[in-house]
A and B are shown apart, each in its own frame.
Chain A
Amino acid sequence: MTCIPVKTDRKLGLAIDLDTCVGCHACVTSCKEWNTGAHSAPLTDLLPYDADPDGVFFNRVHTYEQDTPDGGRTVNFPRSCLHCEQPACVTVCPTGASYKRTSDGIVLVDQDKCIGCKLCSWACPYGAREFDVDVGVMKKCTLCVDRIYNENLPEEDRVPACVAACPTGARHFGDFGDPDSAISKLSAERGGVELMPELGYKPVNRYLPPRERKNHPVNTAAKPLEAVKAEGGFLGWVDRILSGKD
């Protein structure tokens, strides 16, 4: 049924730290690696070694420049499903293939029911859903539903693949439904941001904004080399010799 549960027992989601994300795309490749063999397998690639490759990814890392009062900065921005509390991608689904789980709030697609009408991808403002042209069905982030409850994995590995892969610890996984959970506290402390709240989708995931750089660190960089003068000095002589001017 594509009606949304009134209340979910838990609200599992991610907090993504835009302060520490270095834009290495490890979460992208790790997600692809796990999910191409998991619940939504395969994550088809079309013409991967051709001039115009295309493929299904659940996680995409954008890079932005921003002018702030403290100067310009670069912000890397991983974009994936926000597992919204009011997911229009679910309600627009004509077949019941898209659903939101009552137990943990994860939004999933039943690959056996999807007719590939693509309406859910139109309904998602965040671009979380990608169509698999080869299989003919819609695919999306599963929050690694087959890792987080997987008793065959060591307990520390029962987190989404993107979270496990992040080398800077910029991705956090947990229950936003519990105000005392580590992720809820982290989000509250860092002023976690909801994306486009005015659209009313009530996304669960939070983005932790880059910290303000008020105290600039001591500049430890070496001074630039002096300009090489053509008319004299040892380096000038080397320059002339190497340039074949003598």
Chain B
Amino acid sequence: MRPAFSVIFFTTASGAGYGLLFWLGLAALAGILPGGFWFGFVTMALAVGLISAGLLSSTAHLGRPERAWRAFSQWRSSWLSREGVASVLTYLPIAAFGVGWVFLGRTGGWVVAAGALMALGAVVTVCMTAMIYASLKPVREWHNPTTLPGYLLFAAMTGAVLLNGVLHLFGHGSQPMVLLALGTTILGWIMKRTIWRYNATHRDGPTLGDATGLGNAGKVRSSQWPHTEQNYLLKEMGYKIARKHSARLRIIAQALAFAAPIALLAVALIAPGWLSVVGCVLAALVQLAGMLVERWLFFAEATHTVTLYYGYADKEAAA
């Protein structure tokens, strides 16, 4: 599948933003939400900025962005529509929580209720995003049990590492928070490697013989395409450039999204004062860069059944 940058940025940024809101909501519920206008303002601005920039970016890949409002109508059947509705509804508790916590300086009462709803909305919205991909039967690498937990865990991970960075920046850093960031990142790495292993071992699916219905009579090979140049289907569903470099990109993604943040957070755990702050902030930035590469691979490594008709499976097996 073609990795459209708008969608890569959207899923990564909104994942981190919703992850951040999720942990803030939980902190409010647990009664450990720190006060302070500037900390609250920067954290909420970061979270709302990330999800809003992501949502706006996702409309950039539409052919007719001016009609985007129509996408809220088909929530009864469409995960994409449900994602739109969930993201907009989640803005309500976000606004209430933001006003209560940042501007009124309250960390109890109805702000806790708003925080709980906000955390719930964040989880639901990330689930909807994941289900868009998990529900697509023609894409084997997405239509499997790993997609939903993957999206949820990566959102929780980037959110935790980001929150840890902001907390340290404002002098609210604590060892349990660093441990949470470290723990989710280790879990994220295990999850990503599990997903890759799952996709490497579950390679059964339709063949060209099934796609053409000719399979029973013998081996089918594509000898001529219907057209000499690339068409929409091949540009959108048959994208192969990143797959060519996938081994190298996987190393880069793992180094940036998991290995480097784990090292930096470990340093932050034992290092004193400013070094700890630098480590936590760097970990958040490096991880987001790594997650962009990871998301790029999520698209580029996904194969679509329409490419069977063009004989892609045979060519890749031969390569």
Query: A121 to B2, alpha carbons, bound, how many Å?
Result: 12
Q: Which residue of B lies closest to A134 (CB)?
A: B63
- Is A124 among interface residues, defined by CB-CB distance under 8 A? yes
| B212 and A69 contact, CB distance less than 8 A | no
A-B contact count (CB 8 A): 205
| A121 and B223 contact, CB distance less than 8 A | no
Q: How large, as a class, is the contact surface on chain A?
A: 35 or more
Q: Which residue of A lies closest to B75 (CB)?
A: A94
Question: Shortest CB–CB separation between residue A73 and chain B, in angstroms?
Answer: 9
| A69 and B80 contact, CB distance less than 8 A | no
Q: Which residue of A lies closest to B78 (CB)?
A: A94
- Is B159 among interface residues, defined by CB-CB distance under 8 A? no
- Is A113 among interface residues, defined by CB-CB distance under 8 A? yes
| B229 and A52 contact, CB distance less than 8 A | yes
| B210 and A196 contact, CB distance less than 8 A | yes
Question: Which residues in window 109-164 of A have CB below 8 A to B?
Answer: 113-119, 121-127, 130-133, 135-138
Contact with B along A84-126 (1 / 0, CB 8 A): 0000101111111100000000000000011111110111111
| A131 and B63 contact, CB distance less than 8 A | yes
| B78 and A2 contact, CB distance less than 8 A | yes
| B62 and A130 contact, CB distance less than 8 A | no
Residues of chain A contacted by B220 (CB below 8 angstroms) = 64-66, 75
Contact residues of B: prevailing secondary structure: mixed
Checking B70, B73, B138, B217 against A123 with a beta-carbon cut-off of 8 angstroms, the contacting residue is B138
- Is A54 among interface residues, defined by CB-CB distance under 8 A? yes
| A67 and B132 contact, CB distance less than 8 A | no
Residues of chain A contacted by B227 (CB below 8 angstroms) = 57, 60
Checking A61, A115, A196 against B63 with a beta-carbon cut-off of 8 angstroms, the contacting residue is A115
> If the complex has contacts A69-B218, A92-B135, A135-B63, are A198 and B232 also in contact, measured as CB distance less than 8 A?
no
Q: How large, as a class, is the contact surface on chain B?
A: 35 or more
Query: A122 to B232, alpha carbons, bound, how many Å?
Result: 11
Q: Which of B87-95, B148-156, B242-250, B303-311 contacts A (4 or more CB under 8 A)?
A: B303-311
Query: A69 to B76, alpha carbons, bound, how many Å?
Result: 49
Residues of chain B contacted by A207 (CB below 8 angstroms) = 212-213
- Is A242 among interface residues, defined by CB-CB distance under 8 A? no
Question: Which residues in window 200-214 of A have CB below 8 A to B?
Answer: 200-201, 207, 209-210
Question: Shortest CB–CB separation between residue B209 and chain A, in angstroms?
Answer: 9
| A67 and B70 contact, CB distance less than 8 A | no
Query: A130 to B232, alpha carbons, bound, how many Å?
Result: 6
Residues of chain B contacted by A209 (CB below 8 angstroms) = 213-214, 217
Question: Which residues in window 46-72 of A have CB below 8 A to B?
Answer: 52-57, 60-69
| A66 and B217 contact, CB distance less than 8 A | yes
* 16 A-B contact pairs sorted by A residue (CB < 8 Å): A2-B77, A54-B229, A66-B220, A91-B78, A93-B78, A114-B63, A115-B64, A115-B68, A117-B61, A119-B78, A122-B237, A131-B236, A193-B213, A196-B210, A207-B212, A210-B217
Q: A77-B214, A131-B63 are in contact. List 7 more A-B contacts (CB 8 A).
A: A60-B226, A62-B224, A92-B77, A95-B74, A122-B236, A137-B64, A209-B214
Binding site for B on A (CB under 8 A): 1-4, 18, 25, 28, 52-57, 60-69, 74-75, 77, 79, 88, 90-97, 113-119, 121-127, 130-133, 135-138, 193-196, 198-201, 207, 209-210
